[in-house]
Amino acid sequence: MNEKVCTEVRARLPAYVARSLDPVRRRLIALHVRRCAACQVEFSIQREVHDGLASLTAGADTPPDGLLESLLENTSSPRGASPLRGAVSGARPVLSVALLVAGAAAGAGAGYASWLSAKNVRRRLRR
Ligand SMILES: [Zn+2]
């Protein structure tokens, strides 16, 4: 495989996975990647990076149900703080961001925590 072509193709892979290339270049790169194993590897890496960033953004908007409440319970006691920090650094990137967002929300004030527990009490009373 022509190395100059590979260099050209790889330089455009980020734009290719982000779908910001014009149709002609897209087609040329798609054709090359299909035939070139080395560029195929590079393409799948670029696609993973792109998808990872996309899911990171989406994940930050919607942390899993109940995560915020369990975090607020942990942060309210001093002993819960250090295992929580370990969980943040050890977790997958998406989860880390969710935890950090939730952590920031917890740090924003005890007012939110009391609002949450008030909500829980109301939910329990309704049952
Ligand atoms: Zn190639």
Average pLDDT, integer, range 47-61: 82
- Say how many Å lie between the CA of residue 54 and the centre of ligand 1: 26
Least confident among 14-18, 56-60, 66-70: 56-60
Q: In terms of Cα–Cα distance, which of 97, 90, 93 is closest to 67?
A: 97
Q: In terms of Cα–Cα distance, which of 114, 28, 30 is closest to 69?
A: 114
- Say how many Å lie between the CA of residue 33 and the centre of ligand 1: 6
Domain ranges of the chain: 3-60, 62-126
- Say how many Å lie between the CA of residue 9 and the centre of ligand 1: 7
- Say how many Å lie between the CA of residue 123 and the centre of ligand 1: 59
**Tens digits of per-residue pLDDT, 17-51?**
999 999 999 999 999 999 999 999 999 999 999 98
Q: For residue 23, how many other CB atoms are within 10 A of its CB? A: 7
**Tens digits of per-residue pLDDT, 104-118?**
666 665 565 666 677
Cα–Cα distance, 70 to 103 (Å, whole number): 11
Q: Supply 38's token pair.
A: 């080395």
